[in-house]
Amino acid sequence: MPEPIKTTRVVVGMSGGVDSSATAALLLQQGYDVVGITLKLWPQDCMSRAEDKCCGPQAVMDARAVCDQLGIPYYLIDESAEFQRKVIQYFADEYKAGRTPNPCVMCNQNLKFGRLLERADQLGAQYIATGHFARVEPSPDGTRLLLKRGRDSHKDQSYFLFSLRQDQLARTLFPLGEKTKTDTREVARQCELKTADKEESMEICFVPDNDYGGFLEQANLAKKHRGEIVDLRGQVLGMHDGIEFYTIGQRKGLGISAPKPLYVVELDAAANRVVVGDESALARERFEVDRCNWIAYASPPPSIEATVRIRYHHPGTPATITLLPGGGASVRLHAPQRAVTPGQAAVFYDGETVLGGGWIR
């Protein structure tokens, strides 16, 4: 982290939660000139859809109150049109294509580390900061910036940040990277911030009750359309209301009966089919990723031994990554893994260091 001086201005992305509140407080204590910004991401019907989320009115009030307590400027900036275009529409399009999206990565890439940097420039700020549990450190040879896991293994959020570029990392501070969640709440309590004991949300911020299918329907982003549920041999077992409402590995809510549990193993958008099989059919040893972003390398080697995480809560597994033409890669897992899901991010690690990642095809 750069040596703070009063002329070094930092814009903190304020979500109204304890993490961003503690981030602002820590930077202020360290001598930075701190400005708080909340990006208003959801349009006016947020009141009925996500009132208590990071885009909702309560979150805005909490963020404003924290900035008032800390005595720092606060701005609320409407980015709802960009959020609709870059995150919401992507979310719907991925489900329609039979993939399972990861909106948090897209929001980080396009809004929190995209539009927020633009706003920082307008305010004359050298840096932005967020409440992510992750770290940025220079490489041993000093030629690149490395993204590393947060010290709190239970809260580490480096997975969601794999798509960040070197120029974005160079202007980003993660004050919570060395801290635990307990430490973070203690910082907020010592500063008597109203968010110190605020419960954190574990759901997608714009999807109430984690009901993404209901959200897609309510927002008129998907409509029910009948199709077949088939087994691996193509035998029709039942009907579905749209592949958008299913994910790989899903067992409940299929509406079919069978002598043993069946799981969604494939979503065939072209044929409008949901393919099911037993649990063994979920195991995969090989897959490909596209749109790779490499943080640790200017030019990655043709073959890399790494640990890969195929979703946020996945613990990681050893793999061999082989580069493909066009910015993709082939991933060979040393041990088959369950429910490798198209549309999710596969992120590659060497110990605590994020090497890079891509999107599962």
Q: Note the pLDDT tens digit of each residue in 258-270.
A: 999 999 999 999 9
107 as an active site residue: the answer is yes
Query: Quick check: 221 pLDDT over 60?
Result: yes
Neighbours of 191 (CB within 10 A): 19
Q: What is the amino acid identity at position 166?
A: Q
Q: DSSP letter string over 175-211?
A: TTTT--HHHHHHHHHHTT-TTTTPPPP-S-TTSGGG-
CATH topology classification for 9-210: Rossmann fold (3.40.50)
Query: Quick check: 306 pLDDT over 80?
Result: yes
What end-to-end distance do the CA atoms of the chain give, in Å? 36
Q: Does domain 225-277 have CATH number 2.60.40.60?
A: no
Residue 170: strand, helix, or coil: coil
Domain ranges for the chain: 9-210, 225-277, 283-360
From the candidates 55, 67, 107, 191, give the one annotated as an active-site residue: 107
Hey, do 9-210 and 225-277 end up sharing a CATH topology, with the first three levels equal? no
Bridge pairing between strands 273-277 and 303-309: unpaired
205 as an active site residue: the answer is yes
- CATH superfamily assigned to domain 283-360: Translation factors (2.40.30.10)
Return the structure tokens found at 162.
């794999």
| Model pLDDT, residue 53 | 53
Q: Note the pLDDT tens digit of each residue in 41-69.
A: 876 544 455 555 555 788 899 999 999 99
Bridge pairing between strands 317-324 and 303-309: antiparallel
The pTM is what? 0.92
From the candidates 54, 55, 67, 205, give the one annotated as an active-site residue: 205
Q: Are 356 and 349 in contact (CB under 8 A)?
A: no
